[in-house]
Amino acid sequence: MSEKSYHLTKGSIPILISMPHNGIEIPETIAKNMTNEALKLVDTDWYLDKLYDFAVTEGAWIINPRYSRYVVDLNRPKDDLSLYPGQDTTELCPTTTFSKKAIYKRQGPSEKEIQQRVHNYWQPYHSEVEKCLELMKKQHGMALLFEAHSIKSEVPRFFDGKLTDFNFGNYNQLSCSEQLTKLIEDWEPKEYSKVINGRFKGGYLTRQYGDPQNGIHSLQLELSQATYMDELGLTYNESKAKQVKVELLSMFKCFKTFVSR
């Protein structure tokens, strides 16, 4: 590939914000076989780069992909083993949307094509994440991977009822230190609900790279899109976003305190 499949913004502090489901591009060779419904990209973690734009000023590193999760899901293991055994989840290369509508006009990608997507899109992203974390650890003695995600407030396929606003996951306290866990437990967003290790415990990136005993910590936030979007129209709501950004910045300040200790 002549162009990188992701965008990286370098920072000055040992915090890497990863947005693996923020991409909205689909290569033409793949798009031509997709349904019109799939091309709406409704399951994107919409506008996270805009929502977290304050983090650049705060000194964070940010990485996000160019391509949609429908091409390949960067937050799944490349062997496609389920992260939530016994629960319904989408695949490494999804064949259905969250609402169980077909992504492809006919059959989905072959095993050969899946491996090509892993090589072209999945591996470069993961290699860069690993490289950044190791560089941070070398320069600062530690690193924090913050996995920024968002999802519709109601997705019956994955959870009942309406989702909590802030859904933190640290793989049942295995992907980050007790100190960072305590910071998140004590931090309370004003006028928003919060849960830790509820329906979302952290995806593959959180679980794979979190190694607190060796100074690399990881934490995921699955933010309800109702907090910053008009969900029906998939549009960014400036007034909602402005309000929730205050809390996200407050949360980020806790992270900065943690990495500067």
Model confidence pLDDT, tens digit, residues 79-120: 988 787 778 788 999 999 999 999 999 889 999 999 999 999
pLDDT in tens, 127-162: 999 999 999 999 999 999 999 999 999 999 999 999
On whether residue 27 sits in a domain, the answer given is: yes
The torsion defined by the Cα of 66, 64, 90 and 95, in degrees rounded to 10, comes to 0
The mean pLDDT value for 65-91 works out to 90
Torsions phi, psi of 7, nearest 5? -115, 135
On whether residue 1 sits in a domain, the answer given is: no
On whether residue 93 sits in a domain, the answer given is: yes
On whether residue 176 sits in a domain, the answer given is: yes
On whether residue 177 sits in a domain, the answer given is: yes
CATH of the domain at 186: 3.40.630.40
pLDDT in tens, 8-52: 999 999 999 999 999 999 999 999 999 999 999 999 999 999 999
Q: Residues 258, 180: contact at Cβ < 8 Å?
A: yes
Task: Report CA-CA distances (Å) from 44 to 22, 47, 224, 258.
Answer: 6, 9, 12, 30
pLDDT in tens, 2-15: 479 999 999 999 99
On whether residue 145 sits in a domain, the answer given is: yes
- In the chain, the number of structural domains is 1
Parent domain of 70: 6-259
